[in-house]
Amino acid sequence: ALTIAIVGLPNVGKSTLFNALTRNQVLAANYPFATIEPNVGVVNLPDSRLDTLAEIFASERVLPAPVSFVDIAGIVRGASEGEGLGNKFLANIREADAIAQVIRGFADPDVVHVDGAVNPASDMETINTELILADLQTLEKAEARYEKEVKGRKLDPSVLETAKAAAAILDSGRPLSSATIDLEPIRELGLLTAKPFIYVFNVDEAVLQDQAKLDQLAALVAPAKAVFLDAKLESELIELDPEDAAEMLASTGQEESGLDQLARVGFSTLGLQTYLTAGPKESRAWTIHQGWTAPQAAGVIHTDFQKGFIKAEIISFDDLVDAGSVAEARAKGKARMEGKDYVMQDGDVVEFRFNV
Ligand code: GDP
């Protein structure tokens, strides 16, 4: 499953945010066969198109695409040297598809800051330095192994060269995500700074309404994406029914909850998109990578759909809404039969034809 690891200094609000994520029990309700692990939180990707489809098809239920978050305990200065949770902790993030770094922006004098003062720029630097050091250690160990293997002609020298080039970038204090070299040959190392990053600023309600301040924080992390939320407010929102939650959000000047934003930004940072299926049983969003073909997309529903793929009948969401029904969309020539090479587009409403 796709996972986004949550990292950050102690006392920045990770647990508070994570509790909001896990109490958001959508997965338990909608996906009865999914295993729920205590350190995994799930948010539905908000998608109003599903409600529209559910109306057209009179669907019994709506199933949005889930985005999973894994909680990993706090990082401290020296983590790469084995202080605090050290290497075991770092090994856990290696498996994640992306990293969400929580940064404290709230002022509360009752909550101690590990470094004595709230300073987003310096917190980011502490974490990023630890991640860079951890990657350097990984590379050092790998290089020793690669050198032996290259000597023994068991490994292509380009792998060793890539490792050396990556180490040089890290040595200059830069994360690998800023590199222009192709890291594919050393992908197996799961280097942390090569992963896509999202920055989550945990701020006070007042800051959420202060655009100048938000712009300033966003500039700190650009071109990476920033999400702004108030973890305390999020944990309160999750306790309310949807209407009350919407009202409370509106009173803070926001249109969308922080968890919803996090799901959306996480999704796009991972290079994902959805396609839609609809019928009387359910209207559902399925997660695929951008650029996937129709058979690959079919494989997300069932591997047999991919193996036995014949063709896909596709109506784009807007055309379907215009037509009002599948029959009418067909009559208007808006239903397309697509073959094996078709590249899926966002908002495709699909019915697969396959051999069993
Ligand atoms: P963690 O160590 O990063 O997991 O941080 P916690 O989630 O345990 O939060 C540390 C303390 O900060 C707790 O007392 C939280 O109640 C408090 N806290 C977390 N988020 C916020 C916030 O957005 N605003 C304020 N004022 N306090 C917060």
ipTM of predicted assembly, 2 dp:
0.95
16 is known to lie in a ligand binding site: yes
pTM over 0.95: no
Structure tokens at 172: 């200059």
Q: Cα angle vertex 15, ends 11, 20, to 5°?
A: 135
The pLDDT tens digits for 199-224 are 999 999 889 989 999 999 999 999 89
Residue with tokens 């004595």: 116
21 within ligand 1 shell (Cβ under 6 A): no
Task: Identify the CATH homologous superfamily for domain 1-46+63-272.
Answer: P-loop containing nucleotide triphosphate hydrolases (3.40.50.300)
* Nearest CA, atom 20, ligand 1: 13
CA atoms within 13 A on the CB side of 61: 6
To test the ligand 1 pocket, which listed residue (11, 71, 203, 230) has its Cβ within 8 A of the most ligand atoms?
11
**What's the topology of domain 291-354?**
Ubiquitin-like (UB roll) (3.10.20)
The candidate with the shortest Cα–Cα distance to 134, out of 99, 177, 88, is 88
Pocket test for ligand 1, best of 16, 39, 69, 262 (most atoms within 8 A of CB): 16
Interior CA angle at 277 toward 330 and 346, to 5°?
A: 85
Is 180 labeled as ligand-binding?
Answer: no
Question: Which residue's CA is minimally distant from atom 17 of ligand 1?
Answer: 13
Ligand 1 pocket, 65 CB below 6 A?
Answer: no
Is 39 annotated for ligand binding?
A: no
Confidence check: pLDDT of 36 > 50: no
Q: Whose CA is nearest to atom 10 of ligand 1?
A: 11
Q: Given a cut of 60, is residue 26 above it in pLDDT?
A: no
Secondary structure E strands in 215-308:
225-229, 272-278, 282-289
**Span from the CA of 94 to the centroid of ligand 1 (angstroms):** 25
Q: How confident is the model at residue 34 (pLDDT cuts 50, 70, 90)?
A: very low
Residue 182, token pair as written in the block: 């192709």
Q: Grade residue 115 by pLDDT with cuts at 50, 70 and 90.
A: confident
The residue assigned the tokens 């990476």 is 224
Q: Specify the pLDDT at position 37.
A: 53
Condensed to tens digits (0 to 9), the pLDDT of residues 59-112 reads 999 999 988 888 765 555 666 665 544 556 666 778 888 999 999 998 877 777
**% the chain with pLDDT above 70:** 89
Ligand 1 atom 19 nearest Cα:
13
For residue 16, the model assigns a pLDDT of 87
Query: Please, where in the chain does CATH 3.10.20.30 lie?
Result: 291-354
Q: Determine contact, residues 190/94, Cβ cutoff 8 Å.
A: yes
Measured in angstroms, how far is the CA atom of residue 38 from the centroid of ligand 1? 20
pLDDT tens for 267-317 read 888 889 999 999 999 999 999 999 999 999 999 999 999 999 999 999 999
User: Can you read off the two tokens belonging to residue 161?
Assistant: 């060269």
Residue ranges matching CATH 3.40.50.300 in the chain? 1-46+63-272
